[in-house]
């Protein structure tokens, strides 16, 4: 059984994910959608509420509903970039691939990742920019034997994290969050001061016990925070 509000949800989701409606794009009003789907406003509202919950749109009285800005890896733990949550609409996210090399895994890193040394990897470095300000440095390793398609992917249209999510189902992820001081390179890239407190997120993702990707994302501490709502584990 496919309900009307599920249809509306899916249709809008498709346009957003497909890039048809860019961040900041104003989506039709509830009334227009109700007319288009020949249903009541409340049914539309249900679909839009679900989209809000997924962080895909924001709704504002009087002005309408807008496609939200891409979120910096909301992907896994419901931990998202909340610093901008209140003003999701209209933020411009961009990224730039700084480097992209195919290598073999060195011993030290292999140990850290608990993967065999010598395995072929794709090593990426990427800068994320939000509203013209550097927001994160992404340093990533993709295991090419698990994700062979990455060998020919240059991530010119889709950032690596998003691309991977679409390509590879993952079954487990591990996160580590630390605070570090910016070294010279990091400070330069993030346009911040050397020694500035930065938030360091490391994520390793597995599929059936094999590492899919390992990524280290460095945010300037003053421009970023993680936030998340949680419920008790047990009652």
Partner DNA sequence: TAGTGGTCTAGACCACGGG
Partner DNA sequence: CCGTGGTCTAGACCACTAT
Of 36-55, which residues contact DNA (CB under 7 A)? 38-43, 45-46, 48-49
What is the CA angle 211-56-204, rounded to 5?
Answer: 15
Query: Which of the choices a second copy, DNA, none does residue 60 contact, using the CB cut-off of 5 to 8 A by kind?
Result: DNA
Minimum distance, C-beta of residue 6 to DNA, in the bound complex (Å): 7
Among 198, 212, 215, 217, binds a second copy (CB under 8 A): 198
Report in angstroms the alpha-carbon separations of 156 from 96, 102, 196, 224: 8, 17, 30, 25
Residue among 33, 68, 26, 64 nearest 47 (CA): 33
Cβ proximity to a second copy: between 104 and 225 the closer is: 225
Q: How far is 180 from 195, CA to CA, in rounded Å? A: 8
Angle between helices 41-53 and 4-17 (to 10 degrees): 50
Count of Cβ atoms closer than 10 Å to residue 167 Cβ: 14
3-state secondary structure of 39: coil
Please report whether residue 11 would count as binding a second copy according to CB under 8 A. no
Among 141, 199, 212, 217, binds a second copy (CB under 8 A): 199
Please report whether residue 209 would count as binding a second copy according to CB under 8 A. no
Among 3, 31, 181, 191, binds a second copy (CB under 8 A): 181
Please report whether residue 171 would count as binding a second copy according to CB under 8 A. yes
Of 56-95, which residues contact a second copy (CB under 8 A)? 70-72, 74-79, 82
Of 59-118, which residues contact DNA (CB under 7 A)? 59-65
What does residue 120 show for φ and ψ, rounded to 5 degrees?
-75, 135
Count of Cβ atoms closer than 10 Å to residue 209 Cβ: 8
Please report whether residue 235 would count as binding DNA according to CB under 7 A. no
List contacts with DNA (CB under 7 A). 1, 3-5, 29-31, 38-43, 45-46, 48-49, 59-65
């Amino acid at each position: 059984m496919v309900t009307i509000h599920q249809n509306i949800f899916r249709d809008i989701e498709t346009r957003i994910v497909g890039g048809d409606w860019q961040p900041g794009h104003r989506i039709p009003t509830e009334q227009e959608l109700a007319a288009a789907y020949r249903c009541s406003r409340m049914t539309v509202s249900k679909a839009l509420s679900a989209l809000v919950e997924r962080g895909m749109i924001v709704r504002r009285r009087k002005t309408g509903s807008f496609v939200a800005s891409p979120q910096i890896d909301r992907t896994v733990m419901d931990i998202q970039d909340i610093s901008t949550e209140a003003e999701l609409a209209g933020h411009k996210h961009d990224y730039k691939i700084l480097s992209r090399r195919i290598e073999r895994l060195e011993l030290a890193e292999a140990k850290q990742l608990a993967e065999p040394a010598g395995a072929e990897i794709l090593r990426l470095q990427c800068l994320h920019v939000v509203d013209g300000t550097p927001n994160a440095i992404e340093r990533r390793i993709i295991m090419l034997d698990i994700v062979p398609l990455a060998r020919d992917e240059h991530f010119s249209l889709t950032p690596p994290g998003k691309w991977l999510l679409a390509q590879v189902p993952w079954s487990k992820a591990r996160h580590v969050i630390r605070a570090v001081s910016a070294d010279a390179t990091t400070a330069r890239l993030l346009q911040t001061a050397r020694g500035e407190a930065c938030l360091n997120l490391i994520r390793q993702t597995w599929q059936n016990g094999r590492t899919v990707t390992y990524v280290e994302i460095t945010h300037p501490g003053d421009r970023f925070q993680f936030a998340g709502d949680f419920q008790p584990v047990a009652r």
